[in-house]
Structure 1
């Protein structure tokens, strides 16, 4: 759990500015001054008009939530994988990898979803004038939209994160087992396998991520139809009517660019921490 907490914080904080740009690119029906067409253009506009540090607005919510959420995430992953026999050296168990990944994300997203809502609200253009801190944002959302606002996107989040994590863990275990059959600590293997697995899973699950962003930011929209979207299918219908099929892949490039290094960092940090604790346990015996 300690290794997972460290990995989660490292993953989210390093690539946070690109994630902020991805969020803004995915917002539906923005004002003309809030249209972002790419990572370079988005970075330049945010940095010049709102200040360079605004790229990190809302990161405190991720830091607070990512630690416990990823602790639960990796603890569940290891427990389920062990129960399904997925830890044997030299053997590849794709079903164990996919199942343990799906179980891990169901547990961790229950903790992380409210923090993710706060993060995305604070990433929106002009949010600095509305929220002074993550606690201020949380109070505003609760007061105006109720507790349900923190979980209205949870089913949609799971529709994205369960296949994302299953695909990522399946790809990671497949690649890492091929590169390192003994399953001993190897930083190069963990980094490369994590990057490829993350990018692959991120590209395939972008449509669900777009709908998740819609649901998590709807309370800040001025569009009445958008504010009344209450679920995944309603979000899909509105997005297709407004922007067509291409709308489902808004922000795919920054999502992949964010996910590849962040999952490489996550797996590298996790495996390094786990190897450290294993050595400590062995030395104490």
Structure 2
């Protein structure tokens, strides 16, 4: 084997798909993130719809459920299966650009904070990068999330995303799309710190070489999603209250303006158990959806950046 053949073989075997050329890595991360975000939210959307309904304060008698299976059965038999997908277009419209921004910001900040230096674990750097990514992506996604939840609640009369957006804006103003943003950040920053730190930890433990391994990304993503979802459920209940307040017949809920007041209402109406409403469907939703998201993200990143390899080999020749 000559020197050139040895160098070509070494590049083919040792090329790490995460060590991307500077001129293509951000583009790859943006595209991979957008595709992963759309896949994550649409596949598990019916479970998310059930979670939203189970978190509503003082629901109508027709929307009181005893569990995930009961909620699915009743919605399916009384409202039709399409009801479980109501509002999914809002997620599709928002998830692509929001997740592109999310993963692009994460990769840039991960490098900036030094998470790519050395072989060890860097939970603080990964967590900080995840927090930065969340702040950026949630600013873009929050209005779409409000529209989605307004269309998910029982008795929603909004025919499409545009009609819902117009109704919310006309009745409540622009503030309605961002009243939950501080609460969303209060929830999603720790959520993403838990998720990214857990994912990177499990990924390195299960796959020390750092090569592309679908099974590793699926397991690490699922575990990270379950941990993060369970830990932040109380904040998600408050977020749901704020994002659906316009649909409530309760004057106090309709006028709720922040996280602390939302917490007081939840505690007064449902006690401590009110803060874990929707825990099971939230974990059931996030565990597979996060596994899907990370798996799709890592796959598309690997697939896109794999195209750079022939260029490197051609350059050596």
Cα gap change, 1:167/1:189 in structure 2, threshold over 3 Å: closer, same or farther? Answer: same
2:56 match: 27
Unaligned runs of 5+ in 1: none
Deviation at 1:93, TM superposition (A): 1.1
Unaligned runs of 5+ in 2: 1-29, 313-317
Match runs of 1:242-257 below 5 Å: 242-257=269-284
Match runs of 1:124-273 below 5 Å: 124-127=153-156, 130-273=157-300
Cα distance in 1 between the residues matched to 2:255 and 2:180: 13
Aligned residues: 283
1:108 match: 137
SS at match of 1:264: helix
Deviation at 1:34, TM superposition (A): 1.2
Cα distance in 2 between the residues matched to 1:166 and 1:26: 24
Cα distance in 1 between the residues matched to 2:210 and 2:250: 52
Match runs of 1:11-160 below 5 Å: 11-88=40-117, 90-127=119-156, 130-160=157-187
Residues 17 and 56, structure 1, Cα contact 8 Å, conserved in 2: yes
Cα distance in 2 between the residues matched to 1:180 and 1:22: 33
Query: If the length of structure 1 is used for normalisation, what is the TM-score?
Result: 0.98
Cα distance in 1 between the residues matched to 2:89 and 2:240: 19
Deviation at 1:94, TM superposition (A): 1.0
Cα distance in 2 between the residues matched to 1:70 and 1:100: 14
Deviation at 1:89, TM superposition (A): 6.3
Cα distance in 2 between the residues matched to 1:89 and 1:21: 43
Residues 90 and 183, structure 1, Cα contact 8 Å, conserved in 2: no
Cα distance in 2 between the residues matched to 1:225 and 1:186: 50
The root-mean-square deviation of aligned C-alpha atoms, in Å, is 0.9
Query: If the length of structure 2 is used for normalisation, what is the TM-score?
Result: 0.88
**87-96 vs 263-272, which moves further:** 87-96
Deviation at 1:88, TM superposition (A): 4.3
SS at match of 2:244: helix
Structure 1 stretches of 4+ moved >3 Å: none
